[in-house]
């Protein structure tokens, strides 16, 4: 089957590295990579990180972007005053 696939830059580099290592065409390297990834034999278990209760927030997180922008503005002003 012929189809068009758009690869990210890092993915293309991985396929090209496989081409060089194995001395095969781009098409063969891509097909082998897909086969290896899809038929690895064992189903992958999802990684789950630990969670922790950090208590009540000291900031109203419904406006987190505004808080971040205010903190950034404050830091910029402090740097400008220091460079003064």
- Give the three-class secondary structure for 53: coil
pLDDT recorded at residue 47 = 82
Residue 29 near residue 15, CB atoms below 8 Å: yes
pLDDT band per the 50, 70, 90 thresholds, residue 6: very high
pTM for the model: 0.46
Residue 67 near residue 59, CB atoms below 8 Å: yes
Alpha carbon distances (Å) from 53 to 36, 56, 63: 40, 9, 21
pLDDT recorded at residue 9 = 94
Residue 19 near residue 32, CB atoms below 8 Å: no
pLDDT recorded at residue 41 = 66
What is the residue extent of each domain of the chain?
9-38
pLDDT tens by residue, 37-82 = 877 666 667 788 999 998 988 877 788 888 889 999 999 999 999 9
Higher-pLDDT residue of 45, 29: 29
pLDDT recorded at residue 40 = 65
Residue 51 near residue 32, CB atoms below 8 Å: no
């Amino acid at each position: 089957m012929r189809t068009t696939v758009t690869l990210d830059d890092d993915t293309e580099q991985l396929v090209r590295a496989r081409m060089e290592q194995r001395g095969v065409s781009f098409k063969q390297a891509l097909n082998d990579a897909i086969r290896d990834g899809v038929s690895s034999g064992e189903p992958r278990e999802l990684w789950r990180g630990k969670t922790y209760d950090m208590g009540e927030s000291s900031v109203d997180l419904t406006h987190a972007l505004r808080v971040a922008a205010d903190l950034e503005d404050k830091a910029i002003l402090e740097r400008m005053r220091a460079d003064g």
